[in-house]
Each structure stands twice: as structure tokens, then as C-alpha cells.
Amino acid sequence: MGRYTFLEDVALADCAIEIEGRSLDDLFETAAAAIARLMVDPGTLVITVDRRIELEAAERDLLLHDWLSEMIFLKDRDALIFPHATVRVTGEGGWRARVVSDI
């Protein structure tokens, strides 16, 4: 997995995270882990559900934005947290993320 750091000194947002990944897939996986860590202690979660998510966007940055938004939405709506996600990002005819996550 890549690396993430919570940036405490950024005052423009409620939270700022610097995320690095070894690949685009790893970047999305690391982003999911960072968001999960922000919301709960992942060590307290029991992984019980597999969930498939497919997102599409015209640009990579928009796809990452939609991915992070989806993680927050699913936490709020369904009480689902994604500390471990397997993500495949492709750029054929627009950008697509296919996700299979353990929840």
C-alpha cells in the first residue's frame, strides 16, 4: 500500500490528506484506507461484506474525487467503511474505477 499523511496545518478544509501510491490503483486503495482511518479505527472493524462499486469520470482527478465522495456517502448512508479495497482503474474511453472491497 502507498502512504498517506494527515495534514494538520491546512486551515482551508476540515481535513487535508496527502496521499501517495505506487500506481494509480494503489493510489485509490490508499485513499480508501486514509478515509477509513479518518472516520474510524480500522482495527476495530470486522470485515464481513464484499461490495462492488463502479465509477466513471472524464478525467482521473474527477474519478478520485468521485471515489472519495462515494466512500463518505456509503459511510453516511449505509454505515459502511472500506479499510481494504482492491481497485482497478482504467482509462479506456474515459476513466473507470472498478472496486471490490471487503467491508
Domain that holds residue 16: 3-102
Q: Domain holding 78: CATH number?
A: 3.55.10.10
Nearest to 35 by CA among 77, 1, 78, 67: 67
* Total domain count, the chain: 1
Report residue 67 as a C-alpha cell. 471515489
Q: For 15-47, what is each residue's pLDDT tens digit?
A: 889 999 999 999 999 999 999 898 888 778 777
Q: Residues of the chain with pLDDT > 90: what percent?
A: 43
Q: What pLDDT does 27 receive?
A: 95
Report d(CA 74, CA 4) in Å as an integer: 21
Q: How many CB atoms lie within 10 A of CB 14?
A: 6
- pLDDT of residue 100 exceeding 70, the answer is no
Report d(CA 38, CA 85) in Å as an integer: 15
| pTM exceeding 0.75 | yes
